[in-house]
Amino acid sequence: MKRISKTEAIARAKAEGIDFSKDVYQISISDKSFMAELAKEAGYKKSASSCLSTGSAFFVHLKKYI
């Protein structure tokens, strides 16, 4: 399976209606689930010491590139 790029992941998240101006704790559970699926497609691995879910950690990671 071909991995998606950060740019493509951001575009797909925005198309899904995810608002990157929000804080990670303000996004909905369904948005976090969608972000977790994108993370899987992008091959993203969160830090083992992270207290965030994979979806939340990927949201924070992508937010750096906006």
Q: List pLDDT tens digits, range 31-66.
A: 999 999 999 999 999 999 999 999 999 999 999 999
| pTM, entire model | 0.94
Q: What is the mean pLDDT of residues 7-31?
A: 97
Q: What is the mean pLDDT of residues 3-30?
A: 97
Neighbours of 22 (CB within 10 A): 13
Q: How confident is the model at residue 18, as a pLDDT? A: 97
Of 54, 52, 63, which Cα lies nearest the Cα of 13? 63
> Are the C-beta atoms of 53 and 36 separated by less than 8 Å?
yes
Split at pLDDT 50, 70, 90, the class of 2 is: confident
Of 46, 54, 56, 41, which Cα lies nearest the Cα of 8? 41
State the Cα–Cα distance between residues 5 and 26, nearest whole angstrom. Answer: 25
* Joined tokens for residue 41: 């497609």
